[in-house]
Structure 1
Amino acid sequence: MNPVQPAVEPLERMPARVRLRPTMSSDLPYVVSLEQDPENLPFITPWERTQHEAAIRFPDFRHFIVEGGAGLEAVGFVILVGCRNPNQSLELKRMVIHAKGEGFGRATLRMVKKVAFDDLGANRLWLDVKARNARARALYDSEGFLVDGVMREAVKTSDGFVSMVVMSMLLHEFAARRSGGLEMRA
């Protein structure tokens, strides 16, 4: 019996372009508003504004505004942690896209992988996702992330405890996907 392969979105069918730009202090009201949006709250643990301010300044973090579409308007934000990790293990701490269903999440994730492996020299890019976040888990799976394990009932929420699924991609897996035309070129 052959395992079912995840659906893969070829690069040539990518949505309107996206780019990442460093988050500025003036962007923080937008960032905080995305985290507080009732559509996003079930899937993230929001930060205080001061945590975002620290992430903008601290060299081990990369905090980006995601701009997308024809006019390159803000469509979300991304936070990477461990940019100076001596083990070259980089965490995708948070990715919040407000323009859902338009392909910006997939395009952003591909850009994040390129930045992590090509620009920041990561050997491992990892993330954790709430087990109940089926949409995000499907995206990460289809983009080549593998499940490392599950942290059972790791996060307390208003309706009980939620398990976290830890997923990762290694540099050699990214390189293989790139060779197969599934990732952006360097």
Structure 2
Amino acid sequence: MKMQTPVIESEKIALISTTEADLDFVTALEIHPQNRGYVMNYSKEQHLEVMHSSDEQHLIIFDKGTNEKAGFVILGGLNNRYRALELRRIIIDKKGKGLGKETLQLIKKYCFEILQMHRLWLDVVDDNQKAIYIYASAGFKNEGLLREAVIFDGAYKNLKIMAILKDEYSTE
């Protein structure tokens, strides 16, 4: 698979703009049993809206080692007047290989060094302990809880709000 020009990259991965041809991969990841209890599922049309929005960015995570797509990211708030970028979605296909941590490092670098944002924030279902641990280890701080804010499989779930500020970001 030939990789298009990356938005940002590390030695292991590259974040590249999502194309319409990637949407079967993206929607399959959303409905996968490991993911569907933690992320809202978008239709292909909703993903296309994100891809064409001037305030959002839809990115494929490309694994340079395997030369394959490894997941995707959605960022929102590119035009936020308070320079607060939201990490709306991150899904890794093959978990346990460190690609999530590597992707978070790249997103923080992109947010704070390239986009010159002040704040990077996200919400995470509070029973997704593995993701919460990864976000915390990447420097995200717990900011609060939105009680019973979403419904997954007919049950209300809480959302934990987490964020990292520019002055908390380091390149270590």
Amino acid paired to 2:40: T
In 2, Cα distance between the equivalents of 1:118 and 1:59? 20
1:110 Cα deviation after fit:
0.6
Q: Which runs of 5+ in 1 are unaligned?
A: 1-14
Matched, 1:33 2:57: no
User: RMSD across aligned C-alpha pairs, in angstroms?
Assistant: 1.3
1:159 Cα deviation after fit:
4.5
Correspondent of 1:160 among 155, 159, 165 = 155
In 1, Cα distance between the equivalents of 2:78 and 2:51? 13
Matched, 1:97 2:59: no
In 2, Cα distance between the equivalents of 1:72 and 1:171? 32
Correspondent of 2:60 among 62, 65, 73 = 65
In 2, Cα distance between the equivalents of 1:119 and 1:72? 25
1:119 Cα deviation after fit:
1.5
Q: Deviations over 1:72-129 (max 9, x none)?
A: 3100000000011111000000000011000000000111111111111110000000
In 2, Cα distance between the equivalents of 1:164 and 1:74? 28
Select the structure of larger CA radius of gyration. 1
The normalised TM-score by structure 2 is 0.91
Moved more, 154-163 or 27-36: 154-163
In 1, Cα distance between the equivalents of 2:97 and 2:70? 10
Q: Which runs of 5+ in 2 are unaligned?
A: 1-9
Shift in alpha-carbon separation, 1:16–1:42, aligned structure 2, 3 A: farther
Matched, 1:49 2:29: no
- Percent of aligned pairs with the same amino acid: 35
Amino acid paired to 2:22: D
The answer (yes or no) to whether the contact 1:16–1:68 under 8 Å persists in 2 is no
Ranges of 4+ aligned residues in structure 1 off by more than 3 Å:
none
Where does residue 16 of structure 2 map in the other structure? 21
**Which has the larger helix fraction?**
1
Compare relative contact order (CA 8 Å, sep 6+) and give the higher one, 1 or 2: 1
The normalised TM-score by structure 1 is 0.84
The answer (yes or no) to whether the contact 1:66–1:74 under 8 Å persists in 2 is yes
1:55 Cα deviation after fit:
0.7
Where does residue 73 of structure 2 map in the other structure? 78
